[in-house]
A = this chain, B = another copy of it.
Amino acid sequence: MTDDLDKSTFERSCCPIACALDYLGDKWTLLIIRDLLLGKKRYQELMASPKRIATNILADRLKKLEASGLVIQQAYQQKPVRYEYVLTKKGEDLRPVLEALVKWGKAYFPGVRFLNPMNKD
């Protein structure tokens, strides 16, 4: 169904891509969602990704993800209360987007570790 991406879709005055990117269009949000899809739940797990996100940015993105209904907090202990972060259905439903990105990334950066000097992983 290749014409999900057609003119009429786009010309409605709010394009679903533009709307989606209001939530996802930055450097970190999709990487956090990737980690959550892979089963990470806790702050330290999310901090531990190969690409090091600054702690204030992670905290900020988690707040925004919660505010936009992609993620919920669940307490996993009391004293002190600590939360883990779990994707809602809305968040889970981004899996195909990430999968499409994986496919593209694999096709065009198969050995990127050695080719891309910008890569700090």
Interface residues of A (CB under 8 A from B): 1-2, 4-7, 9-10, 12-22, 24-28, 30-31, 34, 37-38, 50-51, 90, 93-109, 112-113, 116, 118-119, 121
A4-B99, A102-B4, A104-B97 known; A30+B17 contact, CB < 8 A: yes
Q: Are B100 and A5 in contact (CB under 8 A)?
A: no
Copies in the complex: 2
* Other-chain contact of A21, B20, B31, B107 (Cβ < 8 Å): B31
Residues of B within 8 A of A17 (CB): 30-31, 34, 98, 101-102, 105
* Cα separation A21 to B104 with both chains bound (whole Å): 11
Residues of B within 8 A of A102 (CB): 4-5, 9, 16-17
